[in-house]
Amino acid sequence: MLYSALTLFQAPLGLHLKMSDERKESASPAAFIREQLDARGMTQLDLAFVLGTNQQTVNHLAVGKRGVSAEMAKALGAAFDVPAAHILEMQKASELRAELERAKQPDASIARKARLMQTYPVREMIKRGWVDDDPKTLEAQVARFFGCSSVEDLPHLPRDMAHAAKKVSYWEQIPPPQFAWLLRVKQIADRLIVPVYSEAALRESLPKLRALMDRPESASRVPRIMQECGVRLVVVENLPGGKIDGVCFWTAGDASPVIGLSLRFDRIDNFWFVLRHEIEHVMRRDGVSTINVDTDICSESEEDRGLPECERSANDAASDFMVPRSKIESWIARKAPFYPERDLLAFATLQGVHAGIVAGQVRYRTKKFRLFKEHLVKIRSAVLATAVVDGWGDTYPTQDGE
């Protein structure tokens, strides 16, 4: 069938009806045809005459019984002086709406699961074995992991816990990756059996610990020493984006201290600094009322920046434990600006520590982070060999029957 390209029935006074963007999206070709006919004072028979077709065809178009083809869109566009593409867009949108109306409604849990995945590191939690990958029970598992009765209660901490992050305002909610990591440390720590905590024993252990700083492999003895003091030492691999170095809090009715380490930096200097930092928190009982989550401890860009007093004290104690600050500052002042390697090795031997311990302090205090990289040896494997560990391919059993 051939259609006339004439536009004989345009609106009076040359009024060309233009659709708004909203109408382009919502109108159907049938409604558009009826509106155009009304605006021009035309009948369906008139339009059939213009198009060179019969009235039944026009009627089916006007009531939506028949869709608009590309050829008919061009004819209608010519008759009503509108782009044919607009009419085809309405046809496609109308078909899409009809298809969506016929489609089955999705399960309401899909949106909730999507928000869950966007908020928490769920895929990583599944990978670590913290929750199962069963979509039907995922929500319940995540809620249970975080100590909540349902996902609607997230992201609140369990009521028996409070938190404080060094880089986040105290009593402010910590980021989800840190939250998940912290809860995993607590789950594991709650299952450990250790002697009654003794502050005196922990203080007496400090010389023993420092004597282990001469060789990387000696770090394997740290977990046993901590256990003997009644400290629950837990090592959990850091979650992507977590940036946690360590944590200190108390469990068992505030009677048993917990130290959690992430070992995200596999360096001898970082391990000993973070460990001693958290031990100081324990001896000060800093984690009794708030959980001390420490992020970016002794990072290359860190300055004082108004840290809380408990954090400054823990940093000072860790620095003096590694190498007394007066001695390292004196050595730096005497050797600047060249810092010969042979002098570094001699100074480390004099202090009874591995060269990497001194190297880390020199790098941090001088901000010359290209110095002595070769001395920052790895230590993680020695610690993991004897510690309570979750991560790096291993999942610590925290559920009955595992």
Q: Look at 402 and 69; give whichever has higher pLDDT.
A: 69
Residue 73 and residue 71: Cα distance in Å, rounded?
5
Which H helix or E strand runs over 256?
A: strand 256-261
- pLDDT of 285 reads 93
Q: 234 and 91, same structural domain?
A: no
Look at residues 260, 218, 248 and name the one whose alpha carbon lies nearest to residue 357: 218
Let me know if residue 402 belongs to a domain. no
User: Region 94-113: what's the mean pLDDT?
Assistant: 87
Above 60 in pLDDT, residue 5? Answer: no
Residues 227 and 364 in one domain: yes
pLDDT score, position 305: 58
Check pLDDT > 70 for residue 149. Answer: yes
Domain ranges, residue 127:
107-156
Number of domains in the chain: 3
Distances (CA, A) of 224 to 15, 68, 169, 257, 278: 90, 80, 34, 15, 16
| CA distances from residue 177 to 118, 145, 189, 390 in whole angstroms, order as listed | 11, 13, 18, 15
- Report the pLDDT averaged over residues 266-276: 96
Q: Which pairing describes strands 256-261 and 244-251: parallel, antiparallel, or unpaired?
A: antiparallel
Say if residue 306 is in the same domain as residue 320. yes
Cis link prior to 177 (omega < 30° from 0)? no
Q: How far apart are CA 277 and CA 286, in angstroms?
A: 11
CA atoms within 13 A on the CB side of 116: 25
Determine, yes or no, domain membership for 216.
Answer: yes
Q: What is the pLDDT of residue 92?
A: 92
Token reading at 263:
């070992």
Whole-number pLDDT of residue 173: 60
Is the preceding omega at residue 337 within 30 degrees of 0, hence cis? Answer: yes
Query: Do 68 and 147 belong together in one domain?
Result: no
Q: Verify that 115 and 183 share a domain, yes or no.
A: no
Ranges 100-109, 192-201, 271-280: which has the least confidence: 100-109
- Cross-strand pairs, 294: 246
Task: Answer yes or no: do 124 and 214 share one domain.
Answer: no
Average pLDDT over residues 96-123: 87
Return the minimum-mean-pLDDT range out of 187-201, 292-306, 383-397.
292-306
Mean pLDDT of the chain: 85
Domain membership of residue 130 (yes or no) is yes
Indicate whether 2 belongs to any domain. Answer: no
pLDDT of the residue at 158? 39
Instruction: Give the pLDDT band (50/70/90) at residue 256.
Output: very high
Q: Is residue 397 part of a domain?
A: no
pLDDT top residue among 289 and 56: 56
**pLDDT tier for residue 303 given thresholds of 50, 70 and 90:** low
pLDDT number for residue 263: 97
**With contact defined as beta carbons under 8 Å apart, do 142 and 183 qualify?**
no
Q: What is the DSSP string of 196-233?
A: PP-HHHHHHHHHHHHGGGGSGGGGGGHHHHHHHTT-EE
H or E, element range at 285: none
pLDDT digit string (tens) for 358-371? Answer: 999 999 899 998 99
Domain boundary at 58, 85, 102, which? Answer: 102
Tokens 């922990």 -> residue? 202
User: Do residue 246 and residue 290 come from a single domain?
Assistant: yes
CB 181, CB 262: distance < 8 Å: yes
- Asked if the structure places residue 52 within a domain, the reply is yes
Q: Residues 29, 175: one domain?
A: no
Q: What's residue 274's pLDDT?
A: 96
| Stated pTM of the model | 0.76
The DSSP code sequence of 355-372 is HHHHHHHHHHHH--TTTT
310 and 343 share a domain?
yes
Q: Among 134-143, 268-277, 289-298, 344-353, which stretch is predicted with the lowest mean pLDDT? A: 289-298
Interstrand relation of 292-295 and 244-251 (parallel, antiparallel or unpaired): antiparallel
Query: Cβ-count burial of 231 within 10 angstroms (0-12 exposed, 13-18 middle, 19+ buried)?
Result: buried
143 versus 150: which is more confidently predicted? 143
- How much is the pLDDT for 2? 38
> Model confidence over 6-43: pLDDT tens digits?
444 444 433 344 444 434 444 789 999 999 999 999 99
State the Cα–Cα distance between residues 114 and 134, nearest whole angstrom. 15
Range with the lowest mean pLDDT among 126-140, 165-179, 214-228?
A: 165-179
306-325 pLDDT tens trace: 778 889 999 999 999 999 99
pLDDT for residue 166:
38
| 206 and 341, same domain (yes or no) | yes
Mean pLDDT of the 107-128 span: 87
Residue 376 scores a pLDDT above 80: yes
Asked if the model's pLDDT at residue 241 lies above 80, the reply is yes
Judgement on whether residues 286 and 320 belong to the same structural domain of the protein? yes
Lowest mean pLDDT among 28-32, 175-179, 207-211: 175-179
Decide: residue 228, CB within 10 A, 0-12 exposed, 13-18 middle, 19+ buried.
middle
Q: How far is it, in rounded angstroms, from Cα 92 to Cα 282?
A: 67
Q: Is the pLDDT of residue 261 over 90?
A: yes
Based on the fold, state whether residues 184 and 292 are members of the same structural domain.
yes
> In angstroms, what CA-CA distances link 68 with 24, 54, 91, 343, 351?
15, 15, 6, 87, 88
Quick check: is 213 in a domain?
Answer: yes
- Is residue 328's pLDDT more than 90? yes
